[in-house]
Amino acid sequence: MVNHRLSLRAFLWRRACAKRDWAIVAVCVALLLFALTFVFDDGAISTDLTSADDLVPLTLLRNAKSTGAFCLDGSLPAYHFQKGFGSGADNWLLHIEGGGWCNTIEKCSYRKTTALGSSDHMERFVKFAGILSRDPSQNPDFFNWNKVKIRYCDGASLAGHPESELKNGTRLFFRGQLIWEAVMNELLSLGLSKAKQALLSGCSAGGLATLIHCDDFRDFLPNSATVKCLADAGFFLDELDVLGNHTIQSFYHDVVSLQGVSKSLPKDCVDIMESSKCFFPQEIIKNVKTPLFIVNPAYDFWQIQNILVPDASVSDGYWKRCRLNIHNCNPNQIEILQGFRGSLLKALGEFQQTKDGGMFINSCFIHCQTLVADTWHSLSSPRINNKVSSSDSGI
């Protein structure tokens, strides 16, 4: 249930690294491999035998056309909705799908030929698992809530603006902010406007979108509602890569410039620094006033493979095997990985002191944990002080 504040504060701040860290990582790698046998990405349907009753249909946002809220290709945005029942009938959980970003016309043009840029390519039914599951043994806190999976089809964490659309013959719609507003307006008409408790969550790029829109989500809802946010694997670090290049900083700069994201970022931040810096979570959370919970692995494999050791840095083969499997890392590489972990903890240092914030930081080599039963709430889930990411969290 949503309590007045987030009570889970099982952090790894003062824990010795070395053997214990890597033992936990080994367990998490095994969990990851197991999980990937069922789920390819956070938009995929589980390959196990699933009854029709377990599948949640896709709903196109029909009213979006009048507001100009379109996916990259001009198709209608979409979501999956499962109605709550019993004690959860007046409670809502929204989850924003992840899927990276596009930072060039070429990449956004390719993206619009996929489910990450067009509802024409989205699965018509998905299975809700982990934090979206209706199985009380898998999801004891939220199983009977109204649950929504917001599909991600703009390539800028639901934060792009149409003023930045390029009129160069390439038909692309940068409407992320409008998509967010249109989804919210439709859900408000379905009962969200009467919510007693509400949680906005998201994975990866959806986790970043959760941070960007957290306070806005609070403003949409009644003052009497208890509202909180949860960002899963959305805390992307502003770090140099192993060659000393600003790979992620340059990439984010291009995303923000291409899609006009700065208008959706905290004004207090963009007034004092280059706007793309404000696209990094460590800057965004300084301005978030709504209670926030962060779930993040200290060895996030997406960040290791795209921020710390991007493709351009593996041409000589030194990092090739290590970045794919940490058991292949030599002592020097492990030291660099532990330094990346240290950067995450340092970036979260100020947030650790906030009374309305909480976090679950484990040492898994994984990316996104709330949508998979084996990392969200199961006997094999990663634990800190005998707590899994969902248990006793007070979310």
Edge-to-edge strands, sheet with 357-362: 125-127, 55-60, 78-82, 146-150, 91-96, 197-203, 226-232, 292-297, 357-362
| Annotated active-site residue in 42, 54, 238, 300 | 300
Q: Interior CA angle at 386 toward 92 and 351, to 5°?
A: 60
Q: Is 300 a catalytic residue?
A: yes
| Annotated active-site residue in 75, 157, 201, 204 | 204
205: which 2 tokens? 């790029």
Q: Is 263 helix (H, G, I), strand (E, B) or coil?
A: helix
What values do phi and psi take at 149, rounded to 5? Answer: -105, 115
DSSP string, 34-65: HHHTT-SSTTSPPSS---GGGEEEEEE-TTHH
Separation between Cα atoms, residue 44 and residue 125, nearest integer Å: 10
Q: Which residues of 157-196 are buried (b: 16+ CB within 10 A; e: fewer)?
A: bbbbbbebbeeeeeebbbbbbbbbbbbbbbbeeeebeebe
How many CB atoms are located within 10 Å of the residue 353 CB? 7
| Annotated active-site residue in 154, 367, 377, 393 | 367
What values do phi and psi take at 298, rounded to 5? Answer: -70, -25
With the CA atoms of 304, 307, 308 and 310 taken in that order, what torsion angle do they form, in degrees rounded to the nearest 10? 90
Q: Is 188 helix (H, G, I), strand (E, B) or coil?
A: helix
Amino acid at 229: C
Separation between Cα atoms, residue 158 and residue 90, nearest integer Å: 26
> What Cα–Cα distance (Å) separates residue 36 from each residue in 44, 123, 163, 340, 342?
11, 18, 39, 24, 27
Catalytic positions, please?
204, 300, 367
